[in-house]
Chains A and B, each alone.
Chain A
Amino acid sequence: MSTRLPKGGRLIDRTKPLSFSFNGKRMQGFEGDTLASALLGQNQMMVGRSFKYHRPRGLIASGAEEPNGLVGLGQGGRFEPNQRLTTTELFEGAVTASQNHWPSLDFDLGAINDRFARFLPGGFYYKTFMFPRFAWKHVFEPFIRQSAGLGRVPQARDEDRYEYAYAFADLVIVGGGIAGLAAALAAGRQGKRVWLIEQSAHWGGRAVVDGVQIEGLEASDWVKETVETLEGMENVTLRTRTMASGLYDHGYLLMYERVADHRPGDGRPRHRLWRMRAGHVITATGAIERPLSFAGNDIPGVMLAGAVRDYVVNWAVSPGDRTVIVTNNDDAYRTALALLDAGLVVPAIIDARPAATGALPAEARARGLRVIEGYGIGHVKGSKRVTGVSLCVQAGEGAELETIACDAVAMSGGWSPVVHLWSHCGGKLIWDEAQAMFRPDAKRPATGADGAAMVTAVGSANGILNAHEVLADAHRAAGGKGTAPGAVCGEESPMLPVWIMPQGAGPALRMKMWLDPQNDVKVSDVQLAAREGYESVEHTKRYTTLGMATDQGKISNINGLAVLSDALNRGIPETGTTTFRPPYTPISMGAIAGEARGGIFQPLRKTPMHDWHETHGAHWEPVGQWRRPYCFLRHGEGIHDAVNREIRNTRNAVGLLDASTLGKILVKGPDAGRFLDMLYTNMMSTLPVGKCRYGLMCNENGFLSDDGVVVRLSEDSWLCHTTTGGAERIHGWMEDWLQCEWWDWKVYTANLTEEYAQVAIAGPNARKLLEKLGGMDVSKEAFPAMEWREGTLGGVRARIYRISFSGELSYEVAVPASEGRAFWDALLAAGEEFGVMPYGTEAMHIMRAEKGFIMIGDETDGTVIPQDLNLQWAISKKKDDYLGKRAQERSFMASPERWKLVGLESLDGGVIPDGAYAVAEGHNANGQRNTQGRVTSTYFSPTLGKGIAMGLVKHGPDRMGEVLDFPVDNGKVVKARIVDPVFYDKEGEKQNV
């Protein structure tokens, strides 16, 4: 059994017991424990089930590479699935639950998949695609949906908060082991701005567990001293619990700090996402141990040798009472010795090498351990826990020669440098034959803005496993002066690459050799993929799902591609690795969102009248970052009723629209007229001072981009109104042409959108209302349509434009933003006797549609030219050039076959669904009905008491009176007649009074 040892444990504080629960069972650990060490201390080796076969799964590793130890952690607003036991620090009251089983961890019905494993081979998902469609719908999809997903989705709103932070450094060193510390020391002494970050809560990495001596001190003492020295340097910043998630272009490093995971709810943000700009990055990220592939290597109790050592030394937890060591290298002997030191039994060390002759094997032998050379594990016995191993000759086929009873197996297949950060931005790897590992190729690093290396890998991350050399490498890479700190550590004899154990294992054994224990990918699956023609490691990964689990193949990838290479009879470097992509380990969605949620998800733009709307029933509609009232709801009123009321009132009395969000761009200068003639399809330079003109803007492709009323303010200045959503874009568009094409033209632009509050006063009583406010002559004679006047209206400085988007007598009044609310209030007060009532955007939309006015974004979608909308009258024929003119001359644009704007009226008076297509005779090449038009705007018109619509129809204007078929849902067809798009007041009598 696994248990807590009576003494020892570098990281735990036995005076501070902490209680927690696992699957409802109360358990106890100590401060300093991880959830993993605490569970092992309570003999909970089995912690979950695998994804595909639901096989029992135990802890394999002690760090970020752990594939099995995933739990749902927390409750309610602090519940999160797939939390890694090995990297989660224990805290008082932690509630954990294992995943991927039903009804319970010990008894799981899904485990039946294991019996049918031969029907669920590698590439199972892909193979299902080959079946007929009905099989997918009725067999595979339900099955896959049932089994998809790992863990439970949180149901409650996240109670925690998260934040971003920004930082700059000359050098960021990633990894707080002895390599990182030595590099920080060397760089810190040169006065560089240095950051040293460590993903765990502790400094020192592996050396402190492995009994290394540095500068005459125990490694842990040297680490303590060095950290103190670094803390004393003002130019050095140290952060634990901070993981470098990804390295991006030009030294952009994303770092994930788990600020309060170990003290949930203490008021601090839970996670902090650092957006670091690093002058240079040193990766001192260490190495990850590889498992060995032998039958039954997935049974709980089989662990990585280094992890077994970690649990014993760091947390005083023994994974088992009797631990067999199986290895192809010397390092695993350290585990045997550590177990001996802790008073535990090591029945045998099985070494696949023909001879184990190094200093560490010699020490093991001297301490009475049985070292079996040239042997391997045939298979592991047990189901939910290891009960023993069978011995076989490594060079043979697995014949059982002896059985050794044990309850844990510590395996080591060698070490793989953590090259993720090195590789994220294009750093290349080379295959190190002697150590059987891919390591960074210093000649081909990721490069930065200046073309020089952006990253340097040091220590074990650079493929150096000897502590003394690790320190020298780190010191040198950081530009250290003088000699590097020296270390004493045992010499190791060469390892022997072992990818399958035993070498000649037959199919039955290979089917039980796990490569990826979370996703259930076995040696046999990769070999099958190779037989089925998969040669690329990237394809094989996706076909078999090898390395696609939450651990992203940290322990499985190298073994998998070695097996693939062997099956394809080629070398490992020819096969290569899959691409390393950020994040290194999963980061929370909360950290990615940061503070941007709820009310501050994005900036909210408010007009000066916003608060009035808020308190008067505004039903908001987001328009860009603005909120505009869609309508104003009165007590007990539905949205549809409110819209109809607002329209009827505007048509019969007077309505107010808050039009402040409309873009207002001032264009000024000697060449402003010339510039606007290029920008708009119509002629703006000839617009007399005092007048307004509706204008269209196209992009260079000829497509309509924006529209609005242009106002000639003075000899050299124009005010261009844009759509609400278009203001910033059009201003940028103007600047683009002025700065990059016509840079010698003397024009100045300013976006004045927020400088003015603007109100449209529309309806038969509009004039009476303004006259009551007084101060300006708004009579028909003194102030004709499409002109503007400046003056003082009701005591407020105002500029009035006599323009109408509703078809009613209408004035749009702009006042300084600071006086907008007062002006609005004055209008409401003065208008009471005239039946004044505000209206929202939907009433505006319907009224413009009743008048046949187009709306950018409804009638246009980026493929519509003004000619399609019968707007030829707004295109100047006198101009040689304007943006979009040349494009509109292209044959497709000039074609008479283009769909053109018409009005549409359903025969039954109902509203045609938006976006509905009119079908034509016949079918296209894809067997779909041919089409001849589509609906672009469609509303119920309360003015006319029926549905009205606008649409684009082939040869539309020539087909007035024709009836088109619009198939809609459920096989129904709406019949609609082509009519004039102006439904209301065709002669414009209402607005020209």
Chain B
Amino acid sequence: MLILECPCCGVKAEETELTPGGEAHLKRCGPGSTDDEFDGYMFARANPRGVHFERWRHAYGCGKWFLAARCTATLEVFGTYPAQSKQPPAELQAKIKARRPGWEGWT
């Protein structure tokens, strides 16, 4: 039962208030994309043991989506940030790197 702080309303939300949305920062592939590109967008998901970026919605709170960086092995939460982000904020990336020196970094 995770606790994630919603970056929109500031509430430390319990997992029962949240709905999960899978991997964050996927790039949508629409018409015009190749079959491989579309397959990648539609079906291929990272499943790391370690640092992971994911989508959550504060569904039973403010209703806003947000993104979270979390360790899938220890459930350590490195931070949450707005859904309107093309990539994790630099400070967050630095924090993760400090906590997990072996992390390959944001790609």
Residues of A within 8 A of B (CB): 248-250, 252, 277, 426, 447-451, 700-701, 732, 735-736, 739-741, 743, 880-881, 885-887, 889-891
A740 touches B83 (CB 8 A): yes
- Kindly report which residue of chain A lies nearest to residue B28, judged by CB atoms: A741
CA distance A886 to B75 in the complex (A): 36
With a cutoff of 8 Å between Cβ atoms, the chain A residues found around residue B71 in the complex are 451
With a cutoff of 8 Å between Cβ atoms, the chain A residues found around residue B42 in the complex are 700-701, 887
A886 touches B1 (CB 8 A): no
Q: A451-B74, A732-B57 are in contact. Are A250 and B28 (CB under 8 A)?
A: no
B1 touches A447 (CB 8 A): no
B31 touches A250 (CB 8 A): no
B57 touches A736 (CB 8 A): yes
A249 touches B2 (CB 8 A): yes
Question: Which residues of B in the span 16-54 have a Cβ within 8 Å of any Cβ on A?
Answer: 19, 21, 28-33, 35, 38, 42
B76 touches A881 (CB 8 A): no
The 4 residue pairs across chains A and B that have the minimum distance between CB atoms: A252-B1, A451-B76, A743-B84, A739-B65
Additional A-B contacts beyond A449-B2, A449-B75 (6; CB < 8 A)? A250-B3, A447-B76, A449-B77, A732-B19, A743-B84, A886-B33
A880 touches B74 (CB 8 A): no
B31 touches A886 (CB 8 A): yes
Contact of A881 among B19, B30, B57, B77 (CB under 8 A): B30
A885 touches B30 (CB 8 A): yes
- Kindly report which residue of chain B lies nearest to residue A889, judged by CB atoms: B31
With a cutoff of 8 Å between Cβ atoms, the chain A residues found around residue B65 in the complex are 735-736, 739-740
The count of A-to-B residue pairs whose CB atoms sit within 8 angstroms is: 70
17 pairs of residues in contact across A and B, judged by CB atoms under 8 Å: A250-B1, A250-B75, A252-B1, A447-B74, A449-B3, A451-B71, A700-B42, A735-B57, A735-B63, A736-B65, A740-B21, A740-B84, A741-B28, A743-B83, A881-B30, A890-B38, A891-B35
CA distance A150 to B71 in the complex (A): 42
B2 touches A250 (CB 8 A): yes
A740 touches B55 (CB 8 A): yes
What's the least CB distance linking B17 to chain A, in Å?
Answer: 13
Q: A449-B3, A740-B83, A881-B30 are in contact. Are A887 and B38 (CB under 8 A)?
A: yes
CA distance A743 to B63 in the complex (A): 15
With a cutoff of 8 Å between Cβ atoms, the chain A residues found around residue B76 in the complex are 447-451
B59 is an interface residue with CB less than 8 A from chain A: yes
Size category of the B interface is 20 to 34
- Kindly report which residue of chain A lies nearest to residue B19, judged by CB atoms: A732
CA distance A967 to B1 in the complex (A): 48
With a cutoff of 8 Å between Cβ atoms, the chain A residues found around residue B75 in the complex are 249-250, 447-449
CA distance A887 to B15 in the complex (A): 32
What's the least CB distance linking A876 to chain B, in Å?
Answer: 12
CA distance A935 to B23 in the complex (A): 37
With a cutoff of 8 Å between Cβ atoms, the chain B residues found around residue A732 in the complex are 19, 57, 59
- Kindly report which residue of chain B lies nearest to residue A700, judged by CB atoms: B42
What's the least CB distance linking A256 to chain B, in Å?
Answer: 16
A885 touches B31 (CB 8 A): yes
With a cutoff of 8 Å between Cβ atoms, the chain B residues found around residue A736 in the complex are 21, 57, 65
What's the least CB distance linking B72 to chain A, in Å?
Answer: 12
- Kindly report which residue of chain A lies nearest to residue B77, judged by CB atoms: A449
CA distance A643 to B21 in the complex (A): 42
Q: A451-B99, A743-B84 are in contact. Are A881 and B31 (CB under 8 A)?
A: yes
CA distance A887 to B1 in the complex (A): 35
With a cutoff of 8 Å between Cβ atoms, the chain A residues found around residue B14 in the complex are 277
- Kindly report which residue of chain B lies nearest to residue A253, judged by CB atoms: B1
With a cutoff of 8 Å between Cβ atoms, the chain B residues found around residue A252 in the complex are 1
Q: A886-B31, A887-B38 are in contact. Are A426 and B84 (CB under 8 A)?
A: no
Question: Which residues of B in the span 55-78 have a Cβ within 8 Å of any Cβ on A?
Answer: 55, 57, 59, 63-65, 71, 74-77
Q: A449-B3, A739-B84 are in contact. Are A886 and B99 (CB under 8 A)?
A: no
CA distance A891 to B3 in the complex (A): 43
What's the least CB distance linking A164 to chain B, in Å?
Answer: 12
- Kindly report which residue of chain A lies nearest to residue B75, judged by CB atoms: A249
With a cutoff of 8 Å between Cβ atoms, the chain A residues found around residue B29 in the complex are 886
CA distance A55 to B91 in the complex (A): 66
Query: What is the 8 Å Cβ interface bit string for chain B, positions 70-97, against chain A (1 contact, 0 not)?
Result: 0100111100000110000000000000
With a cutoff of 8 Å between Cβ atoms, the chain B residues found around residue A740 in the complex are 21, 55, 65, 83-84
What's the least CB distance linking B10 to chain A, in Å?
Answer: 16
B2 touches A886 (CB 8 A): no
Contact of B64 among A739, A886, A891 (CB under 8 A): A739
- Kindly report which residue of chain A lies nearest to residue B74, judged by CB atoms: A447
What's the least CB distance linking B2 to chain A, in Å?
Answer: 6
Q: A739-B83, A741-B28, A889-B31 are in contact. Are A277 and B38 (CB under 8 A)?
A: no
What's the least CB distance linking A345 to chain B, in Å?
Answer: 54
B57 touches A277 (CB 8 A): no
What's the least CB distance linking A437 to chain B, in Å?
Answer: 26
CA distance A489 to B38 in the complex (A): 72
- Kindly report which residue of chain A lies nearest to residue B27, judged by CB atoms: A741
CA distance A881 to B32 in the complex (A): 9
B30 touches A890 (CB 8 A): no
CA distance A735 to B63 in the complex (A): 9
Identify the interface centre among B28, B63, B71: most chain A CB within 10 Å of its CB: B28
CA distance A32 to B14 in the complex (A): 40
CA distance A57 to B102 in the complex (A): 56
- Kindly report which residue of chain B lies nearest to residue A702, judged by CB atoms: B42
